[in-house]
Every structure is written in structure tokens, then in C-alpha cells.
Amino acid sequence: MEHVLVTGAEGMLGTVLVEELSSHCTVTCVDVAEFDITDAELCERAILSAAPAVVINCAAYANVDGAEADAERAYAVNGVGAGNVAKAAAAAGARVVQISTEYVFDGSKSEPYEIDDEPNPLNVYGASKLAGERAVMDSGARWLIVRTSWLYGHHGPNFVETIIRLAKERGALTVVDDQFGAPTNARDLSALIRELVDGHAEGIVHATNSGSTSWFGFAKAIVEAAGLSDVPVDPVGSEGFPRPAGRPRNSVLSLARLRELIGWEPRPWLAAAQEYIAER
């Protein structure tokens, strides 16, 4: 593999992606302290200087509820910032990989979302990530957009850690049971991204662990794997757990194009989650 520059390299995905790539190629790591993607001139200077063959943009404003009150920042990072990175990659003759989200969809579809389904985000976060996708497409760079869902990993706050903490603190949980998606281990996603980059994939690809569940089903699996199966987990509808940002009822992404490109099926979400919890 060629020289790769990873933005957001100290985040939940960026950290494990750098680990995944480092045994295969030269990796340049940058994070917000020295590389603010909202600064177009800085982006171009840094990427031209590094001269990578591939730029993977993991930098993001990822606080879904916080984005409702801080839309300007969310759009600056997820929209304009993604475009800045892609334009700088184009100037350097590099391919760009943009990490995106299932939240570009509204969740009204009953089947898994295909790569060419029309986006219609319900919240500011999803809309800002969609703006980033479009900025990347218009950048002049060769691009790959990787949409993923329900991501968790060892290097950042996530649903798994929240459920384990609350189970211990409260002794009982109530979790939404009418929103469905594919929980995705950041380490597994990193391996999928490496395969896609190795294969020079372009266009839009959906990449998650296989299978799907509800947040309630995910929480039940978490407490069981964490040895907390005596903690009761009760289901509740979305209306019983209001949040600042609307959530899609169906976040399941079709993996048809991913399987076509890499030739294999990602492992089931349950096995990936159980491994994560065993490693804590």
C-alpha cells in the first residue's frame, strides 16, 4: 500500500485505523491540535507537504445531539472541512476517503439502505455529513465515501461503555427498542477501509458489521457479555426517550457493494461486540 495521511488520527476510528494501516504502509497522522480541517490554506499546505497517495478523513464533529445547538460548528467541520481536505488531496494528486454516516438517511425505508438511495437526514449532524459528502464529490479529487453506523471502539465514548457504566450505577436499564441498525466495531471498520483502499475502490460504499439489532437488543447483548445479565433491561419506544436530535428508525445499510468489492462478508455484529467487551 502507498503513503496514507489520516486526519482525526487520535479519535476513536482514527487511532485503530492508524494501527491497521501501519503494518502495511507509511502513515502520516494528524489531529486537530496541528491540523484544523476548517482552515483551507492549512489543509492544502500540510497535505502538499506530506505528499500522500491517499488521504483518509476521520476528523468529524460527532456529537449528534450537540450539533442541534451548534449547527455552525457541525457544518464547518463535517461539511466545509471535509471539502477542504478533499480539495487539498486533489491539489496533491491524492485519492480521498471520507468517513460518513447512516444518519444521511431518514430511516423511513423498511429494507436496508442501498448506496444510491436518496439521502434525507433528520438531524443537523446527518445534514452536515451529507454536506461533506457533496463537497467531497465536487472537490475534483478521486474519492471514496464510506458510510458506517453505530460505531464503537476502545478510544472514545460509545454506547457499549455507556451501557456498562449505567448498568453498574443504576442496576436497571430502559433502552429504545424501535430504532434498528448494525453496531460496528471500529477495528473491523478499519480492516474494511484498508481492504477498500488497497483495492482502489471509488464511489460510495456502506461498511458495517453484518446483521442488525435494535438499541434494546444491543444493550441486552452488552450486559450479558459484560457479566451483568442480572441487570434488567426494559424496552421503550422512541417517544419515551426524547432526544434533541431526531434518530432514524431504520439505520441498517446494505453491504451488497462492499461484498462485491472485497469478496467477503464482515463478521456478525454480536461476535465483534463480544470480542470488544472481552478486551476491555
Annotated catalytic residues are: 125
Residue 212: predicted pLDDT: 98
Cell digits for 60? Answer: 468529524
Residue 81: how many other CB atoms lie within 10 Å: 25
Among 105, 98, 112, 135, smallest CA distance to 7 is for 98
Evaluate whether residue 150 is within a structural domain. yes
Evaluate whether residue 111 is within a structural domain. yes
Least confident of 34-38, 166-170, 208-212, 215-219: 34-38
Residue 140: how many other CB atoms lie within 10 Å: 11
Paired sense of beta strands 54-57 and 27-29, if any: unpaired
Convert the pLDDT of each residue in 177-190 to its tens digit. 999 999 999 999 99
Residue 168: how many other CB atoms lie within 10 Å: 12
Evaluate whether residue 216 is within a structural domain. no
CB 88 within 8 A of CB 43: yes
Evaluate whether residue 273 is within a structural domain. no
Q: Please give the Cα distance from 5 to 25 (Å, whole number).
A: 10
Evaluate whether residue 175 is within a structural domain. no
Q: Please give the Cα distance from 156 to 4 (Å, whole number).
A: 23
Query: What radius of gyration, in Å, describes the C-alpha atoms of the chain?
Result: 18
Paired sense of beta strands 4-7 and 233-236, if any: unpaired
Residue 15: predicted pLDDT: 97
* Percent of the chain whose pLDDT exceeds 90: 96
Evaluate whether residue 52 is within a structural domain. yes
Q: What is the CATH number of the domain that holds 135?
A: 3.40.50.720
Burial environment of residue 254 by CB neighbours within 10 A (0 to 12, 13 to 18, 19 or more): middle
Q: How many domains does the chain have?
A: 1
Mean pLDDT of the chain: 97
Tell me the CA distances in angstroms from 110 to 21, 177, 214, 266, 269, one per residue in order.
Answer: 36, 15, 14, 22, 20
Evaluate whether residue 53 is within a structural domain. yes
Convert the pLDDT of each residue in 200-215 to its tens digit. 999 999 999 999 999 9
Domain span at 65: 4-158+183-211+252-267
Convert the pLDDT of each residue in 22-37 to its tens digit. 988 999 999 888 899 9
Predicted confidence band of residue 263 (pLDDT cuts 50, 70, 90): very high
Evaluate whether residue 235 is within a structural domain. no
Residue 171 DSSP symbol? S
Average pLDDT over residues 246-261: 97
Residue 92: how many other CB atoms lie within 10 Å: 21
